[in-house]
Structure formats: structure tokens, C-alpha cells
Amino acid sequence: MADLALLGSVFAAIFGFLVLFSYGLSRKNEKSQNSVASTTTTTTAIDGRECASRDGGDDVIIVGAGVAGAALAYTLGKDGRRVHVIERDLTEPDRIVGELLQPGGYLKLIELGLEDCVEEIDAQRVFGYALFKDGKATQLSYPLEKFYSDVSGRSFHNGRFIQRMREKAASLPNVRLEQGTVTSLLEEKGTIRGVHYKTKSGEEVEAYAPLTIVCDGCFSNLRRSLCSPKVNIPSCFVGLVLENCQLPFANHGHVILADPSPILFYPISSTEVRCLVDVPGQKVPSVSNGEMAKYLKTVVAPQLPPQLHDPFISAIERGNIRTMPNRSMPAAPHPRPGALLMGDAFNMRHPLTGGGMTVALSDIVVLRNLLRPLCDLNDAPTLCKYLESFYTLRKPVASTINTLADALYKVFSASPDQARNEMRQACFDYLSLGGVCSNGPVSLLSGLNPRPLSLVCHFFAVAIYGVGRLLLPFPSPKRMWIGARLISGASGIIFPIIKAEGVRQMFFPATVPAYYRAPPAK
């Protein structure tokens, strides 16, 4: 009876929690709709001649020309800003992540006028996911019925996509891309005035602009002066390319719920399939001495669907096995006059759900809309105070995608804890139900409907569904205890992530004063 009482109290607490969130969200939506309406009516295009910096130099310096930096350079350049982009290496990148753009990210790409950057790179359309567990499979399609036919996910070689965006940015006469290594930010009386960097030829140079935006990626060496980085490395990805491989579900990403953690497959060209094997922890078997190949053949290969087994073995034997740490870092900015952080330098989540580019592009849309009314960026303290609203306005979308990615990774990973494994099975079965049980979570994952409250509701719906499976048809004390631990474990997964993201900004952004901050007077 004590266990039953404990379970009842936990359910009551969760119900009250969700009711409170529902009320807060409804109030937030009323206010945010009014706020957005007023913002959109005053936002206009900029005349570049009127909005040039006072000294006739650059308006914005962007450090890094990856997905975030290149897209931002084009966006600000198109709005008339004079943009100087400094990138360490302008040759085509070769990475094993950043290869899947969710439909929500593609919509942002369209909004920024960059949708043609996925053309002519052999990008593949992606319409959803296939989930595999213990020999069973379920298909999860993106809910794209309300969108025109071109909207879907896109998967591609990351380097090809970035080069297309760099070319698009460089095509603007007021955008200058330069190869160089930024070594430090230039500070004067607490205000960032520009950067110190080494050119391609090794010459040390200083560049100045009213606003410096740091987008130098997950390995950023500048972020410490602009945020409080708490980087967590839960696992590493081991990357392979399968050639001439037919996936069980065409034009879908594939997630295998393996032991100890998930395995991903998705097409990156018409003849290639990317495989990412997640290995928990920061250390992986050595590639050089053959331990990694042995691990992949003996531990991973037996857990794959039959159609993927032989191409996977062939990819191992061809070699070129690559690894990359998976990083997670909540956004914890230190607003400083004259500077801003964006992209992976600012905020990261586990790459399991492929949400990084969607967050970056969404952030660029928010920043673009904030900067559009400003013709003068030279009043650094006032601009800094105004741009604090950026950190609030981005939160509902970014935090939803971040929380889902980190929580889903923990749920999808195997565990010796029976309650955690019940949660994992419940998640698979819940998504397999179809209807709202699959459309809701997939809408969150795809960035098409990134609402924090919807995320919390579906997450605990999975937990309660798991408890129901345990208690029916006949509950026993042991099953009731496992069910209580399942709810407790679910809370222990999602609530710390939400706390790190910021409860108030994530669920009630309209209560944050910066949400309503007006542009500085002209």
C-alpha cells in the first residue's frame, strides 16, 4: 500500500506540474502573439548606405564560416551590412556530423533565402525515421501534410553544404571572406572592439567592427570570454560510409536501439549511407591497432538489420573509420558590449536527433529580426542591452530541441536498471502506436512544432504508458515498485536538462523583461 501511495503522489505531482505549465503557456501565447504582431509590422529592409558604420569600415565581424557563420554572413550582408568573415580554413570541410537538416531547419533555410544551397550537392530528401528494436521496426514519418511538396528533411555531405553557403555569402559585394586564425578578441574598457588574427600568410592583423559575432564551432577557443561553458561529453560517434547500400526504408533516417547505445544510418548522397555508431564515454577502442574494427564486427554488426549487415562489414574492411566526441553544452551567456556568441560555440546538444543546424538557423532568424530596425551598431552598451532579448527569444525553439536530444539519448541507451529499460521499451511502443503518439514527438524532433510543453507532455505520456504496461492486467508489488522508479527515473532525466536550459525562459519567456525590449532610439 505504501508503494501505491507513493505512486499516487508522484502522479498527482506530475499532473499538477503539467496543469501549471498549461496555464503559463496559454498566458505566454496571448502575450507573445501580440508582441510578434507588433514586431513584424515595424520590421523593414535596410538600406546598406544608411546603415554603414561611422568610420566607413565593417559593420560586423563574424569569426567562423561553418553553417552558422556562413548563413549569418549571407543574411546580414543581404540586409545591407558590411560583413567581414574570418575562417581558419576555407577549404571544403570533411566532418561526420552536421549531415542531416531537419524539415524545421529547411524551413528556416527558405526564410533566409538559402534553400538553393542544398541543390547541386546530391542532397537526399528525408521524410522521417525508422526505429528498430529487438528485430521489430516502426516507421515514423514527418507530419508534412500542411507544407508544400518541397518541404522535407535534407541529408548531404556537410562540406558540400557549407561550401555552397560560403559561395552564396561571398557573392554579395559587401561580404568579405578571409582565411585567417582569430587568436583573441580586442577589448577596450569592457567593450569588444574587434579581433586579433593571423592571416593565411602568417601576418598578425587587427580588425575592428561595432559588432563581433563568434561562430567558431564546438572547438571554440573564444567562448570562455563570452559564456560559462559547461561542456559534457556523454559519448563518441564512430563514423563509417556504406557504399551502394539500400536502406530498409528509403529516404528515412534509421535508428537502431542497440546495446549499449543507438546506431544511426541515413543517406548522404545517391550512393552513400552514413553510419554513426554511438560509443558511451569519452574513450573509444583504438582505430590504429584494430580494436575498433573488432568492436564493430563483434558487438555492433550482430545487432543490425540483415539488409545492413554485409554493407556494414564491407565499410569496416575498407577502413577510414573516424571518431568524434559528442558534446552537450547549455547556453549560459555573459552578455558583453560589442560581441555575441552563436552556433556550436554557444550551445550544443547530443547530435542523435540532428537538431544542431535547425537551432543555428533559427537563431539567425531571431538575430536578423532584432538587428533589422537598427541603422547604427556603434552604441555598444545600448546594443548589448537590447540584444539580451536574443537569449530569451531563442529559448522556446532551441531549448525544446536541446532537451529532446539529450533526454532521448538517455532513454534510447541500454541500462542495467530494469526501470530504465522499461522506459526504453515504452518509448518504442508509444511511438509505434501512430497518430498523435508518433506525430507529436516527430514534430518536436523535426523542428516543425518545437513547443516545450508538448515535449514535457509526450515525455511523461511515455512514462505513464510504460507504467500502464507494467500494471496491466494484474499489478504486483514488484511491478508497482518498478513503475514508481520508472516515473522517478523519467523525472531524473528531463528535469535537470530543463533546469540547465532555464525553466522561466523555456516555458514562460513572456515573463522575462527582455522579451519586450524595444530597439534603441535612432
Residue-wise pLDDT for 8-41, tens only, equals 344 434 434 443 343 343 344 433 333 333 333 3
- The tens digit of pLDDT for each residue in 157-202 reads 999 999 999 999 999 999 999 999 999 999 999 999 999 999 999 9
Residue 473: the pLDDT is 87
- The tens digit of pLDDT for each residue in 283-295 reads 999 999 999 999 9
Question: How far, in Å, CA of 422 to CA of 488, rounded?
Answer: 12
Question: Given the DSSP bridges, would you call strands 83-87 and 60-63 parallel, antiparallel or unpaired?
Answer: parallel
For domain 60-121+156-230+331-378, give its CATH number from 3.50.50.60, 3.30.1600.10, 2.40.30.20, 1.10.533.10.
3.50.50.60
Residue 522: the pLDDT is 64
pLDDT at 93 over 70: yes
- The tens digit of pLDDT for each residue in 413-449 reads 999 999 999 999 999 999 999 999 999 999 999 999 9
Residue 152: the pLDDT is 97
pTM for this prediction: 0.89
**Hey, where are the domains in the chain?**
60-121+156-230+331-378, 232-328, 395-506
Strand, coil or helix: 513: helix
Record: fold of 232-328: Alpha-Beta Plaits (3.30.70)
Mean pLDDT of the chain: 89
Mean pLDDT to the nearest integer, 228-241: 95
Q: Which helix (H) or strand (E) holds 193?
A: strand 191-199
Helices vs. strands in the chain: H and E counts, helices first? 14, 17
Burial of 308 (0-12, 13-18, 19+ CB in 10 A): buried
Q: Which helix (H) or strand (E) holds 497?
A: helix 477-501
Window from 46-55, 260-269, 469-478, 491-500 with minimum mean pLDDT: 46-55
Place of cell 535534407: 154
Mean pLDDT to the nearest integer, 124-150: 95
